[in-house]
Amino acid sequence: MCGIIGTVGKEPAIDKIYPALIALQHRGQDAAGVATFEQGFHMKKGNGLVLNVFNPKNLQRLKGTMGIGHVRYPTIGSGTAEDAQPFIITTPYGIALAHNGNLVNYFNLKKNLIDNDLRYLNSNCDAEVILNLLSVELTKLNLRKFEPEHLFSALSEVYKKLVGSFAVVSMIAGKGLLAFRDSNGIKPLVHGRKDNEHSFASESVALDLMGHTDMVDVKPGEAIFIDTKGNFYNKQVVRGSKKKNATCIFEYVYFARPDSIIDGLGVYEARLNLGKECLKNRLKPDVVIPVPDTARGAAELVADVLCVKHREGLIKNRYIFRTFIMPTQSARMEAVRLKLNPIKSEIVGKKVLLVDDSIVRGNTSREIISLLRSVGAREIYYAVYSPPIRFPCVYGIDMQTRGEFIARDKSIEEIKTLIGADALVYQTTEGLINGVGAGPSDFCTACFTGSYPTKIPPLLLERIEADRMMAKVSKFEE
């Protein structure tokens, strides 16, 4: 899962992109990058947070009224500097590209590009594969004059090759801004406009910051091209196998900011409803405490349903980043104690109900429960407003190895014992879907149900798991 932004208009693009990337920082902490265009491409990217990668000097060099940006959370490759986005290719026209998602058939696509088209790929990032595939198809057209329809024609061939999830922003040198989304709409992509300025982003919150009020989600399988004069072109390049979207439901559970709207559904409202669905008079705690920050909305509704106090019992250190997307387990465990500190007066001698968004590995939950016991909690109940995670995500969330999931082969009673809770309550799959607010075909729920919106051959799933395990080892050795 990454964050992308693209814009074209009359004002300097970097003035829009830089704050938008900060707004999307929660979607990726490993690397950041920006490419702009003015009589040539200008690019700056590197490992680290947005505030660390960019400084006034290199921001000043990113000239032009068209640009794209990216924050990275790696799920393919080991996350080295070579994998930072955007990527640029010189022919045809000159194209820069950034993407959010995960290509399930990445390995085969990369091998075919190298073997058959004599393309040298310098990274282990699937965005570079998408860029080269687009370049290959455009080159085949052998065109002397650029037309937006040529882009759509090339994309129709690219779509045939891509399996997985992708939301893409791309610049065509001197021509305009291109955006497109996978045929199932797994990854979010929203289009905003203000006067003659057009922008695309992973979440509406970035476009809010840019001053856009006219926003619409890019449809699954749709491509949109905005030329440098602000003219709008779009085409439904392909249609998904389902009648409705298969938006990643984990966006609403955890990943997206609560002030974002994704495919017409407010994230904060979804989390409130998930809290309402999660607990209905099953427990009688003295106080309900959220695991910050994601679970706050759900905890409010849990407290309302149970008619008990809702309190902030865990205070978050704002200078520690999201532990879920930290690269190694040791880093996550160290960060839990650094990130959270209990308010003892809200905990001592009380039956505490902790509300959390999910349990993946179980180590963080166990650490938090241990922390509350150490300051005198009488009993600790744990409520999770998503179902047990039992299946790998192959679409861009770092849950790609079955061995990571505490729920893969354990009952809820066994999980309760392992994390040290006095009671453990999970959301049901039906409650999850009802809470977010639409029918079951509206979402990808693969990590909970094992039902993938694209075909995943078992051998390919094993390959993905093996690659991710190697990447984690490499990251740990660093």
Alpha-carbon dihedral of residues 439, 443, 445, 446, nearest 10 degrees? 130
CA distance 97 to 87: 5
Residue 220's alpha-carbon distances to 59, 227, 253, 260, in angstroms, are 33, 21, 21, 19
> Is 2 an active-site residue?
yes
Sign, CA dihedral 326-330-332-338, equals negative
Look up residue 190 and give its amino acid: V
Residue type, 413: E
C-alpha dihedral sign at 439, 442, 446, 451: positive
Distance of CA 241 to the CA centre of its chain: 22
Cα separations (Å) of 293 from 117, 260, 280, 312, 360?
47, 15, 22, 10, 17
SS3 content of the chain, % helix, strand, coil (to 5): 35, 25, 40
β partners of residue 102: 165
Which residue type is seen at 372?
Answer: L
Residue type, 285: P
> What is the number of alpha carbons within 13 Å of residue 6 lying toward its C-beta?
28
> What is d(CA 268, CA 273) in angstroms, rounded to the nearest whole number?
9
Q: Does residue 74 have a cis bond before it (omega within 30 degrees)?
A: no
Report the relative pairing of strands 95-103 and 3-8 from DSSP bridges: unpaired
Widest pairwise Cα distance in the chain: 77
Instruction: Please name the amino acid found at residue 58.
Output: N
Helix or strand or coil: residue 353? strand
- What residues are labeled active site? 2
